[in-house]
Amino acid sequence: MKIPTERFRLKSRLWPRLVALLLVLQLIWPNRAWMTLLILLGGAWLIATFWVYSLSRNLFLEREIRYGWVQVGDRLEEHFVVGNDSWLPGLWLEVEDHSNLPDYTVGRVTAVDGKAITEWRTEGVCTRRGLYTLGPTSLHSGDPLGLYDLEVRNASSTVLLVLPPVLPLPPIEISAGGRAGDGRRPRRQALETTTSAETVHEYNPGDPLKAIHWPTSARKASLYVRQFEHMPS
C-alpha cells in the first residue's frame, strides 16, 4: 500500500548565495567570467532541484510481512519493494526502519533506475514476546550533486504479536481402561471409586451402611455390602 509523504530540503545556503552574488556582480560589473560561473552554478542548482523534485513525486516504498503472529525463536520474513516512476534514477537510497521489535533491523542502502523497481527480502529472529509494530519506514535520497536531502516516508505500520515459545511435553501414559470404571486391573488403594459395583462381600465393621446390598442380605440372612470398582487412572 502506498502512503508516501515526501520532504526535501537544501543542505547548505552557500550555493544559492554564490548564485546571488554572481548575479549581483554581473549586473554591476558585467563580465564574461561572472556570466560563465553564473550559468554553471545556476544551471547545476536548477538541475539538482528538478532532479530531487522528480524523485520526491515518484519514489515509493512498500513492505509486506509474511505472518501476522509468530513465537519466540521463529524467523520473521518481510518483502520490501522500492519503485521509481520517474525517468531520473535514484543513485543512492537509504531505507530507515522505525519498528520497535527488539534485535530486528532491516536498514539497507540500495539504488533504483528510472521507471524500475528494486525488491528484496529480509529475515530476523524474534527474541522477546509482546505486541510490536513494524514500521513506519523512511526512504532517504538526494540529487547527484548532494545539494538536497530527500525523505519519502511510508507512515503505514503493521501490528505483530510475538507469542511465548511452545515447548513439547513428554507423552502421557493412559491406562488400558480409558474411562473410569473400564480398567481391567482396578487398584484397590485408589481414592476415587466409580458408581459400578463389581461384587459383594460380607459386612465388616467400618463398611458404609449406604453400600448394603439388601437383596443379597435377605437371601443369605446376613448383611452384605457392595464393592465398587476403582478408577484405573
**Within this chain, do residues 141 and 49 fall inside the same structural domain, yes or no?**
yes
How many residues in total does the chain contain? Answer: 233
Which pLDDT score, from 0 to 100, does residue 168 have? 80
pTM of the complete model = 0.66
Which pLDDT score, from 0 to 100, does residue 51 have? 95
- Which of 143, 163, 183 is the last residue before a domain boundary? 163
Which pLDDT score, from 0 to 100, does residue 109 have? 92
Which pLDDT score, from 0 to 100, does residue 141 have? 94
pLDDT tens digits, 26-38: 888 888 988 999 9
**Within this chain, do residues 17 and 93 fall inside the same structural domain, yes or no?**
yes
Q: Burial-class residue 59 by CB neighbours within 10 Å (0-12, 13-18, 19+).
A: buried
Instruction: Cell 536498514: give the residue.
Output: 107
Which pLDDT score, from 0 to 100, does residue 1 have? 43
In a domain, 180, yes or no: no
Q: In this structure, what CATH number is given to the domain that contains residue 61?
A: 2.60.40.10
Which pLDDT score, from 0 to 100, does residue 4 have? 59
pLDDT tens digits, 146-198: 999 999 998 888 899 999 988 788 887 765 554 444 444 444 444 445 566 67
Q: Which residue has the higher pLDDT, 228 or 128?
A: 128
**Within this chain, do residues 140 and 206 fall inside the same structural domain, yes or no?**
no
**How large is the average pLDDT for residues 72-100?**
93
Q: How many domains does the chain have?
A: 2
Count the neighbouring beta carbons within 10 Å of the beta carbon of residue 176: 10
Which residues does residue 65 pair with via DSSP β-bridges, in sequence order? 78
Taking the C-alpha atoms of residue 3 and residue 61, their distance in angstroms, rounded to an integer, is 9
In a domain, 169, yes or no: no
pLDDT tens digits, 89-142: 999 999 999 999 998 888 899 999 999 999 999 999 999 999 999 989 999 999
Q: Residue 2 is inside which H or E element, if any? A: none
Taking the C-alpha atoms of residue 28 and residue 226, their distance in angstroms, rounded to an integer, is 126
**Within this chain, do residues 22 and 107 fall inside the same structural domain, yes or no?**
yes
Strand order across the beta sheet in which 69-71 lies = 69-71, 158-163, 130-134
In a domain, 176, yes or no: no
Q: Cell triple for residue 151?
A: 525523505
Taking the C-alpha atoms of residue 233 and residue 221, their distance in angstroms, rounded to an integer, is 37
**Distances in whole angstroms, Cα of residue 94 to Cα of each of 63, 120, 148, 175, 201:** 15, 14, 14, 63, 88
**Distances in whole angstroms, Cα of residue 121 to Cα of each of 20, 97, 168:** 47, 14, 31
**How large is the average pLDDT for residues 47-73?**
90
**Within this chain, do residues 100 and 202 fall inside the same structural domain, yes or no?**
no
**How large is the average pLDDT for residues 205-229?**
81
End-to-end distance of the chain based on CA atoms, in angstroms?
57
- pLDDT greater than 50 at residue 83: yes
**How large is the average pLDDT for residues 52-57?**
93
Q: Cell triple for residue 192?
A: 476415587
Which pLDDT score, from 0 to 100, does residue 176 have? 54
Phi, psi of 9 (to 5 degrees): -145, 155
Taking the C-alpha atoms of residue 88 and residue 91, their distance in angstroms, rounded to an integer, is 9
**Within this chain, do residues 129 and 197 fall inside the same structural domain, yes or no?**
no
Count the neighbouring beta carbons within 10 Å of the beta carbon of residue 129: 14
